[in-house]
Amino acid sequence: MRETSRRRRSRGAAAALTAAALLAAGALTGCDSASDARGNGSPAKRRPSPSPTPLWNRSPDSIAAVGDSITRGFDACVVLSDCPEVSWATGTDATVRSLALRLIGQPAVSERSWNFARSGADVEDLAEQMTQAAAKKPELVTVMVGANDACADTAERMTPVEGFRSSFGAALRQLRRSAPKAQVYVSSVPDLRRLWSTGRGDPLGRQIWKLGICASMLGDAEDVSVKAQQRRDRVHERIVAYNEVLKDICGKDPRCRYDGGAVFDYRFNGKQLSRWDWFHPSKDGQGRLAEIAYRNVTAASAPRP
């Protein structure tokens, strides 16, 4: 019994010593932590938290452009002809200073930018252009489309809004199949009613419009009857709806940035419209589009509508 009691006391003493040691260690640790918190002790070594890689690169190094005649520089240099060297997106003209020229610079802009836009294209043509763009593996794809969907022979023949939504969504999905990490910059559709208001006072412009340029908006340019104004209002409302589609679909893609309606809101003057058709941007107008795009692509956050 005595031997058993001694063993118990011995084990109890050992346990007490162990507990005391643990308490002392905890107290020291607590003192050290408190000291660190007050800045009086040695600073604790901490691993820096890894910074998340932003999804939007503000300085892409290669650009592909898709869209319609505006991006092709139509009627900016020669009447009824494309002039891609002055394109707001990928042009090489130093006076325009395209988005590609501002981001990439000479001479690399010619090697790392591609223009797949086509004069006369509408939103249904965008998927094929996206396929061509994706093959180049660009860091940025610019999109400007929708004017031709509104510019029909009559207002009744404009692309329906749901059809526009379906085609634009399909085009973006087509790009994502081959270029999932490509950034996409989407321009709003210009305000064609404002272009009509600006150009209708020019006799040459009105004559060119009679050839059939955007008849849904520009036809019978001098007619200001209620019926004519209702037709123009209908085209205007359709463009507003197209821009809502662009904003909505682009907003669901973390690598897509809509211009917030900047091009739609821009007030082109006579100097910024083609002297041949008073509809397409001139070189100066292309430069204004490039400025808008560069500002939005390089901004810290997407523009708000």
Is residue 57 a part of any domain in this protein? no
Residue 261 lies in a domain: yes
* Interval 166-177: pLDDT, tens: 999 999 999 999
Average pLDDT, the chain: 86
Q: Is residue 255 a part of any domain in this protein? A: yes
Q: What is the pLDDT of residues 20-58, one digit of tens each?
A: 333 334 433 343 333 333 344 444 445 555 545 568 999
Q: The domain spanning residue 272 has which CATH number?
A: 3.40.50.1110
| pLDDT, tens digit, 9 for 90 and up, residues 73-129 | 999 999 999 999 999 999 999 999 999 999 999 999 999 999 999 999 999 999 999
Structural domain contains residue 27:
no
**Structure confidence by residue, pLDDT tens digits, 176-226:** 999 999 999 999 999 999 999 999 988 888 888 998 899 999 999 999 999
Number of domains composing the chain: 1
Residue 225 lies in a domain: no
Q: Is residue 207 part of a domain?
A: no
302 assigned to some structural domain: no
Tell me whether residue 220 is in a domain: no
Q: What is the pTM of this model?
A: 0.82
SS (H, E, C) the chain: CHHHHHHHHHHHHHHHHHHHHHHHHHHHHHHHHHHHHHCCCCCCCCCCCCCCCCCCCCCCCCEEEEECCCCCCCCCCCCCCCCHHHCCCCCCCCCCCCHHHHHCCCCHHHCCEEECCCCCCCHHHHHHHHHHHHHCCCCEEEEECCHHHHCCCCHHHCCCHHHHHHHHHHHHHHHHHHCCCCEEEECCCCCHHHHHHHHCCCHHHHHHHCCCCCHHHHCCCCCCCHHHHHHHHHHHHHHHHHHHHHHHHHHCCCCEEECCCHHHHCCCCHHHECCCCCCCECHHHHHHHHHHHHHHHCCCCCCCC
Name the residue range of residue 70's domain.
Answer: 63-150+160-190+246-297
